[in-house]
Amino acid sequence: MKNEQAAAIMQDIFQQAVDSARAGPVIPPNLPEKPRGRCVVIGAGKASAAMAAAVDAAWPDVDLSGVVVTRYGHAVPAGRIRIIEAAHPVSDAMSETAAMLIVETLRGLTPDDLVLALISGGGSALMALPAPGLTLADKQKITRSLLHSGASIKEMNLVRRHLSAVKGGKLAVLAQPARILSLIISDVPGDNPADVASGPTVADSSMPHDALRVLQRYAIAIPDPVRDLLNQPASPLKNAANSEVRLIATPALALQAAAVAARKHGLTPLILGDAIEGESREVAVVMAGIARSVKQYGHPVSGPAVLLSGGETTVTVNKGQPGKGGRNTEFLLSLACALQGENGIWAVAGDSDGIDGTEDAAGAMIFPDTLTRGKISGLNAVDYLDRHDSYSYFHALDDLLVTGPTLTNVNDIRAILIA
């Protein structure tokens, strides 16, 4: 198989996985019975604007209004629903403004009204209202430190819940006595609704001291107001009455769509899991070993095959100024180093939202000659990996996967093609 053919197959597999989670197809079949009163739409996340547009189109005859916040560059017109853009992965002033406007829309509701909460990954940063006693600057400082610490997304969102006035089910309480339905596009390993966007409409059993332990585990500098808040006694918040949650798109469903696409290309798919976590470069070494086993021994799958996986790996940034990159490009550069030009193995990895970290690419692709082409261009792959500068490496080789914002988010999609 030539590189060009492998690239086309990998791009199609990735695209089919993303398309399976788009708001247009998944929103209408999950809408409830129309309310007797008003429908107020709220939401936060990278997919939430597209979700809002789908609701507005599906219910032209319903008294509909609301506010949804999404990432800069991810907005689409949503008719009667106001769309706000804010910063990700670190909140900005618009994140706080959006949260306050969303809270305002929930005032004065009745039991005849319906609140549709459109939640997707990224909402933790995009809708940020600090808990009493904290400032936005406190939350920004904690978030930046966590992003560089190697903490998992579950750990990060646990902390965010306890530093927020709207996360951890608090937003659902504010919607009472209206009925509330949360439609969730999951981007978290395990698909726990409390972890998606830090669960603004879903309570969990964690306590403030659990969040404090996370910060201590990763040696995060804790501002005094944050420490004071997390040392306060508290009782777990219960889920609001008349509240329902529906997961309408998940990483597992996206990988199933990728498997269908692989079969159409004559490949045998093997889904390794949709909730894989760990350090990006270390996960890559494990994946390289599995790929070699398939290539040499036909185990655990034989023939032309593709290894599919999802989840959210992490990148722990060492001291010093890091280069450009995200967890997917770092995974791929480590994978290329581990494979050392093994013939007949190609790979793609990308974030389903179209943005890997903070750069302008979803991810990248690697080929058997990736390292060779890098050397010819004067690039040392190991040096780039050590500097966390994987984006620059793949940019120089023109091997980045550039999709633009996809307006959905079911976490990372990785495919290793073995011929």
Query: Could you state, in order of their start, the residue ranges of all structural domains in the chain?
Result: 3-18+252-418, 23-249
Q: Residues 306-315: what's their mean pLDDT?
A: 94
pLDDT at 271 over 70: yes
Q: What are phi and psi of 379, to 5 degrees?
A: -105, 130
Residue for token pair 């692989």: 262
Identify whether the C-beta of residue 197 lies closer than 8 Å to the C-beta of residue 127: yes
pLDDT at 10 over 70: yes
Q: Residues 86-90: what's their mean pLDDT?
A: 95
Residues 231 and 222: their CA atoms lie apart, in Å, by 12
Q: Under CATH, which architecture does the 23-249 domain have?
A: 3-Layer(aba) Sandwich (3.40)
190 or 39, which is more confident: 39
E strands within 132-234? 179-185
Nearest to 411 by CA among 195, 200, 244, 264: 195
User: What is the percentage of the chain residues whose pLDDT exceeds 70?
Assistant: 99
Half-sphere exposure of residue 147: CA atoms within 13 angstroms, side-chain side: 17
Lowest mean pLDDT among 132-141, 355-364, 392-401: 355-364
Residues 413 and 273: their CA atoms lie apart, in Å, by 11
Half-sphere exposure of residue 397: CA atoms within 13 angstroms, side-chain side: 26
pLDDT at residue 161 in the model:
94
Q: Is the pTM of this model over 0.75?
A: yes
pLDDT at 52 over 90: yes
pLDDT at residue 394 in the model:
98
Beta bridge partners of 418: 305, 345
Where helices occur in 65-152 by DSSP H, the ranges are: 93-105, 123-126, 136-149
303 or 340, which is more confident: 340
pLDDT at residue 357 in the model:
79
Element (H, E) at 67: strand 64-71
143-181 pLDDT tens trace: 999 998 989 889 999 999 999 999 999 999 999 999 999
Lowest mean pLDDT among 37-51, 83-97, 349-363, 364-378: 349-363
pLDDT at residue 77 in the model:
96
pLDDT at 194 over 80: yes
* pLDDT grade for 233, boundaries at 50, 70 and 90: confident
Give me 229's structure tokens: 């808040």
User: What is the percentage of the chain residues whose pLDDT exceeds 90?
Assistant: 89
* pLDDT grade for 387, boundaries at 50, 70 and 90: very high
Residue for token pair 């036909």: 298
pLDDT at 319 over 80: no
Domain 3-18+252-418 has CATH 3.40.50.1950: no
Q: What are phi and psi of 275, to 5 degrees?
A: -135, 35
Mean pLDDT of the chain: 95
pLDDT at residue 255 in the model:
97
Q: Residues 388-398: what's their mean pLDDT?
A: 96
pLDDT at 318 over 80: no
For residue 251, say if its preceding peptide bond is cis, omega within 30 degrees of 0. no
Alpha-carbon radius of gyration of the chain: 22
Residues 195 and 52: their CA atoms lie apart, in Å, by 21
Instruction: Find the length of the chain.
Output: 419
The Cβ of residue 252 has, within 10 Å, a number of other Cβ atoms equal to 16
pLDDT at residue 167 in the model:
95
pLDDT at 320 over 70: no
The Cβ of residue 232 has, within 10 Å, a number of other Cβ atoms equal to 10
Residues 6+ apart with CB under 8 A from 409: 21, 45, 46, 47, 120, 121, 122, 185, 187, 351, 352, 353
